[in-house]
Structure 1
Amino acid sequence: MTPEPSPARRSARSHRAILDATFELAVRNGYPKLTIEAIAAAAGVGKPTIYRWWPSKGALALESINERMGTATDFPDTGDVVADLAGQIDNVVRLFNSDVGAVYRGVIAEAQGDPKVAAAVRETITEPRTRQCRARLDRAVAAGQLRADIPARLMVEQLYAPVYYRFLLGTEPLDGFDARATVERVLDGLRPRH
């Protein structure tokens, strides 16, 4: 006789199936067409199971993409702030050009009309990565590579605004985005004046 799987294992399997179904359906059908009903059917669970773990489609989609980002958006520290930032921005651009980017764009669109989704985007995606970037910039300031009179948060915004502008507004394709040139131009204004 085969032992009954434990409830924890069943829960973990259901959790995984829901996240995978969410991502796959959002990629295949587009984020606006994603529904909790379709996710539940694809994952083989009931809607109450989904709502037990996630309050909304946006929260669920956020978790499904955040785990797929992995370490792609981490900040290296080789001592060369230009190379570190350019490499990290290149990773972000690659991510934005992938299926993760397509789903993320949909979540950001939803966040414009849903304060809870907007808060979740900030808490799970942007703020953790902003803190990492600020820490890297703070080290560059301490090493005398960047000016100390400009808040690190403003530096982050100056560095990433061109990426998000293209990503969200489609003004130019991200394929040809030159991260190194962008970092050099932004840092030119952030370097100490002697």
Structure 2
Amino acid sequence: MITSPSSRRRSERSRKATLEAALGLCAEKGYARVTVEAIAARAGVSKKTIYRWWPSKGAVMLEAFTEGLLDATPFTDTGDIAADLRTHICAAVRLLSTSPFGPAYAGILSEVHHDDALAKAVREDLVEPRFACAVERLRRAGEQGQIPADADLPLAVEMLYGPVYYRHVLRKPPQDEATVAALVEHVLRSLGARET
């Protein structure tokens, strides 16, 4: 006898289809022109289903963007903090420079100024966990003797990633690998890191 998929698997399939639809429409139409109705139609789910899982279009886009960011930018530890930061930041720059992720994130950031719930979700679901991962990677580098024990790690994270998002928000050309390498070298030198 053939059994039907569990409701959980159907829900996961619908969730993935919704996220893919949101990103696809963003690439085709631009963030501002995407509607929840269009996402539902593309994903083959009801509008009611989307609103059961997400409070807004921005929340759908945030989840889609966050999943893409996590997949594209893991925090690896090769034992060389400078190389690992260069790899990580270059991956983030590439993601923000490509459609649909760059336009989706720009749209999300434009909405946080008038959507308090989305602003809170961006902080709690995206920024704070990624910030904590970056601090943890720098902390491990400190344990390995690559960064002084008294280095201000949260400030270092802001110094490393601030220029990436500054350029993205202002639609300036993204950093190339040489610019990222210079940024990483400058920040690590300011921390008093030893050269590897």
TM-score, normalisation: structure 1: 0.89
Amino acid paired to 1:88 = H
Structure 2 residue matching 1:71: 3-state secondary structure: helix
| Residues 168 and 3 of structure 1: CA distance in aligned 2, closer, same or farther (over 3 Å) | same
The one-letter code of the counterpart of 2:36 is I
CA distance in 1, matches of 2:3, 2:165: 51
Q: CA deviation at 1:77?
A: 1.3
Aligned 8 A contact 1:87 1:179 in 2:
no
Which residue in 2 is equivalent to 1:78?
78
SS of 2:136 mapped into structure 1: helix
Cα distance change on mapping 1:129 and 1:4 into 2, 3 Å? closer
Amino acid at match of 1:32: A
The 3-state SS of whatever aligns with 2:71 is: coil
Question: For residues 94 and 2 of structure 1, do their structure 2 counterparts lie closer, same or farther at Cα, with a shift above 3 Å needed?
Answer: same
CA distance in 2, matches of 1:20, 1:181: 35
CA drift at 1:4: 5.5
1:22-61 alignment, distance < 5 Å: 22-61=22-61
Please state whether the residue corresponding to 1:144 is helix, strand or coil: coil
Rounded Cα–Cα distance in structure 2 between residues aligned with 1:18 and 1:39:
6
Distance across 2 between alignment mates of 1:191 and 1:131: 21
CA–CA separation in structure 2 for the residues paired with 1:108 and 1:133: 21
| Contact in 2 for aligned 1:111/1:117 (Cα 8 Å) | yes
CA contact (8 A) 2:22 2:39 kept: yes
- Partner Cα distance (2:43, 2:186) in 1: 47
- In the alignment, the residues of structure 1 paired with residue 88 and residue 6 of structure 2 have an alpha-carbon distance, to the nearest angstrom, of 41
- The equivalent residue for 1:144 is 145
How far apart, in 1, do the equivalents of 2:128 and 2:59 lie? Answer: 16
Task: Give the corresponding residue for 1:120.
Answer: 121
Q: Report what 2:156 is aligned to.
A: 155
What is the aligned partner in structure 2 of residue 64 from structure 1? 64
8 A contact 2:69–2:92 mirrored in 1: no
Q: Distance in 1 between matches of 2:146 and 2:3?
A: 62
- Alpha carbons of structure 1 residues 132 and 162: separation in structure 2 relative to 1, 3 Å: same
Identity of aligned residues (%): 48
2:21 corresponds to: 21
Long gaps (5+) in structure 2:
none
Corresponding residue for 1:170? 171
State the alpha-carbon separation in 2 of the partners of residues 84 and 44 from structure 1: 40
CA shift, 1:72, in A, is: 2.0
Aligned-residue RMSD, C-alpha: 2.1
Q: Distance in 2 between matches of 1:5 and 1:144?
A: 52
Tell whether the 8 Å contact from 1:138 to 1:152 is kept in structure 2 after alignment. Answer: yes
CA distance in 2, matches of 1:106, 1:75: 25
- The alignment covers a number of residue pairs equal to 192
- Matched with 2:112 is 111
